[in-house]
Amino acid sequence: MSTIGKLRQFELPREYYHWLSKESVWGWLFLLPSLLVLGLVSVYPLTRGIYLSFFEYDGIGDPEWVGLDHYATILGWTEFWIVMRNTLVWAFAAVVIMATIGLGFAIMLNREFRGRSIATTLLLLPWAVPFISIALNWRLMYNFELGPLNGFLRLAGISDGLPWIASSRYALFSVMLAWVWRNFPFFMLTFLAGMKGIPGDLYEAARVDGSSKIDSFRHITLPFLQPVVVVMTLLMSLWSLNHFTLIYVMTGGGPGNSSMVLPVYIYQQAFHFGNMGLASAIAVVMLLVMLTYGLIYLRLYREDVGGK
Amino acid sequence: MATDTQAVPEEESNTGPLGLNDRQVERVKTIGFHATLWSLIALVLFPVFWMFVVSVNQTGFGAFVSDPIGWALGADLSGYYRVWYESDFPFWFQNSLIVSIGATVLSVAVCTLGAYSIGRLRYRGRTAMATFLLITQMFPAILVAIPLFLVFRDFGLFNTLTGLVIAYVAFTLPFAIWMLRGFYENLPESLEEAAMIDGSTRFGAVVRVILPLSAPAIATTAIFTWVLAWNEFVFALVLINDSEKQTLPPGMGQWIGQQALNWDMIMAGALGATIPMLIVFFLLQSYIVKGLAEGAVKS
């Protein structure tokens, strides 16, 4: 992230930050509580989870060492690859759709008109609905008999109703729509804030030069928004990869495994089937995927945008 | 929407194809813009509206559209009554409040110092620490939850709200530090220097000068932390066993199996769980908008 780049720029010659300089001591002292909490409740369990992934363990008896067996099982397992593919589709397709919708609304809101602040507030409202309420609410939206979506389709005479979350074809996409609904306001706001930072005379100059609105959007707006988009996309895709509630409550991963994503899958393996070792191994694979993605992303970002 | 904007360039001359002058074209454009925007907003808000409709009188879409008066006449609060008196909802609601507030207070106290350290002080290793915080954001919650379940079971923290609060502090901390850090980076350094020349220590300067100044930023961070905690599902599901000790998300999640047909009750509960978020949202809206915008632009 550019902050890290920024921190680097500010670094002083070595003698200024000797380990025992006053600033350094205060720095570590202030950071100590955070490190303690994270160490005990995040890093320690994480290492124990990695350790657990080499054992067969049902949560009650004695763990039994199996080495890399779980990893071999996972990688040769069709089901795992289906779940992995769902997870990636879920995360990345959702982010693209959110960003597009968010950009559309940001363009509309980025002009002066009466009622603009009310419009912004109303569009932020999905963010104020807790995930559990969204999950229950959208389960009703998709209900075959009572749901307003099918109600609308019937009323408009388009069809007798689609099975939505009850069909293996639409389930993942349907849940994704609820996830998009809740998160597009994030993109809308960040785009809006980014647009406010673009100097207005740039557009004026472009207009004088005779370029069209679409051209100035492509050559002024989009490049200016790029750094904001990069950060937001990284955070949102990581949040999406980790998301649990909507899928767990709306479909439970079904029908079959058609909408199953890794977090729900791991939970089921660990707590429904009592395969804590295997579940940990899957979680470790997931961690590796997320770390690889995150680090590649950060590296590209530092080279492309951070350098500017 | 598309036709609306595309039609514009052709109509820039004094009289367009429809015989409209510039001002009238402007007006048509404005009306078209408002019509598009507000119907899209209505579309976005429809699920929330429907949540309310069903919570007071369970109905289908067709029935509601053809006979809204019948819906209004049949409306009552029985869904809300059943949520409050015939389910464990009050327990869950109370537990969610306790856990979210507890985690927010602790997390903000810890993260203020941490963010100040990373955002402001210069020392070797702070870049590494900032990266480390970012990496902890990439830990899958479920990978931490499984061993945490085992650890908490050994230490008697399993199935207690205290344990859940501890887990939530760690869960919310990296994001909170990351949010607040940007604010400290941008404060002028002369502030604490003045206080320190007057003889106070670094800690004294932070408490007396920096904390009061950063109150709005801390408030924003607190809101976000609170929302994370209010929404959290996995840890509560794994670390709590008794329904009466459960928080709202896993508690209400069970309704899917138990209350499958009582949609008025389920929607009443869904709205009930939303109310604290809405209160926070409307009271602190300007902070939230500013925090989101600034956080995103700065980082």
Domain that holds residue A148: 79-306
User: Using the beta-carbon criterion (under 8 Å), do A7 and B130 form an inter-chain contact?
Assistant: yes
Cβ within 8 Å, pair B61-A16: no
Instruction: Say what angle helices B215-231 and B263-283 make with each other, to 10 degrees.
Output: 170
Predicted confidence at residue B299, as pLDDT, reads: 43
Q: Is residue B225 part of a domain?
A: yes
Task: Check B123 against A125: CB less than 8 A apart.
Answer: no
Would residue A58 count as lying in a domain? no
Q: Is the pLDDT of residue B14 over 90?
A: no
Average pLDDT, chain A: 85
Specify the DSSP class assigned to residue B198: T
- Residues of chain A in contact with residue B133, where contact means CB-CB under 8 angstroms, are 38
Residue A15 has pLDDT above 60, yes or no: no
Q: How far apart are CA B248 and CA A194, in angstroms?
A: 36
Do B46 and B133 share a domain, yes or no?
A: no
Going by C-alpha positions, the residue among B171, B140, B153, B74 that lies closest to residue A34 is B171
Q: Write the burial class of residue A212 (CB in 10 Å: 0-12 exposed, 13-18 middle, 19+ buried).
A: exposed
| Same domain for B235 and B156 | yes
Q: What is the CATH number of the domain that holds B137?
A: 1.10.3720.10
Q: Do B114 and B194 share a domain, yes or no?
A: yes
Of B27, B56, B76, the last residue of a domain is B76
β-strand pairing of A55-56 with A64-65 = antiparallel
Domain that holds residue B72: 2-76
Calculate how close chain B gets to A20, using CA atoms only, in Å.
9
Q: A140: distance to nearest CA of chain B, Å?
A: 8
pLDDT at B293 over 70: no
Judging contacts by C-beta atoms under 8 Å, the chain A residues touching residue B113 are: 30-31, 33-34
CA–CA distance, A19 with A24 (Å, rounded to integer): 6
Count of structural domains, chain B: 2
pLDDT band at B1 (very low <50, low <70, confident <90, very high): very low
**Residues B72 and B182 reside in one and the same domain:** no
What's the number of domains chain A is made of?
1
In chain B, count H helices and then E strands: 18, 0
Indicate the helix (H) or strand (E) that contains A121.
Answer: helix A116-124
Q: Cα(B192)–Cα(B210) distance, rounded to whole angstroms?
A: 7
- Of the residues B56, B76, B96, which one is the last residue of a structural domain? B76
In a domain, A62, yes or no: no
Listed range (A108-122, A259-273, B188-202) with the worst mean pLDDT? B188-202
* Contact across the interface for B45 and A125, Cβ inside 8 Å: yes
Domain final residue pick, B76, B100, B122: B76
Q: Which residue of B has its CA nearest to A280?
A: B143
With CB atoms and an 8 Å threshold, state whether A1 touches B299.
yes
Do residue B121 and residue B146 come from a single domain?
A: yes
A273 CB within 8 Å of a chain B CB: no
Q: Would the CB atoms of B122 and A27 count as touching at under 8 Å?
A: yes
Strand partners, A55: A65
Specify whether the CB–CB gap between B159 and A57 falls below 8 A: no
Query: Which ipTM score applies to this complex?
Result: 0.84
Question: Are B125 and B170 within 8 A, CB to CB?
Answer: no
- Contact at CB, A140 and B114, closer than 8 angstroms: no
Instruction: Examine the domain organization and report whether B58 and B114 are in the same domain.
Output: no
Average pLDDT over residues A93-112: 92
**Side chain identity at residue B152, one-letter code:** F
Answer for the pair B11, B17: CB distance below 8 angstroms, yes or no.
yes
- Domain contains A19: no
Question: Tens of pLDDT along B164-209?
Answer: 999 999 888 988 888 888 788 777 777 777 777 777 777 888 888 8
In a domain, B81, yes or no: no
A306 touches B: beta carbon within 8 Å: no
Residue A88 lies in a domain: yes
The answer to whether residues B62 and B165 belong to one domain is no
Are residues B157 and B279 part of one domain?
yes
The answer to whether A250 and A260 are in contact (CB under 8 A) is no
In a domain, A65, yes or no: no
* A294 pLDDT above the threshold of 90: no
B25 and B96 co-located in one domain: no
In a domain, B83, yes or no: no
A128-151: average pLDDT: 91
3-state helix, strand, coil in chain A (%, to 5): 75, 0, 25
CATH code for the domain in which residue A221 is found: 1.10.3720.10
Q: What is the mean pLDDT of residues B50-72?
A: 87
Chain A environment of B137 (Cβ under 8 Å): 235, 238
Residue A284 included in any domain: yes
Does residue B238 sit within a domain?
A: yes
* Residue A72 at interface with chain B, using a CB cutoff of 8 Å: no
Contact B148 A41 (CB under 8 A): yes
Q: Are the beta carbons of A141 and B46 closer than 8 angstroms?
A: no
Radius of gyration of chain B (CA): 26
Structural tokens at position B154: 């050994």
| Other beta carbons within 10 Å of B294 | 17
Which range among A271-275, B27-31, B137-141 shows the weakest confidence by mean pLDDT? B137-141
**d(C-alpha A284, C-alpha A68), whole Å:** 12
Strand partners, B35: none
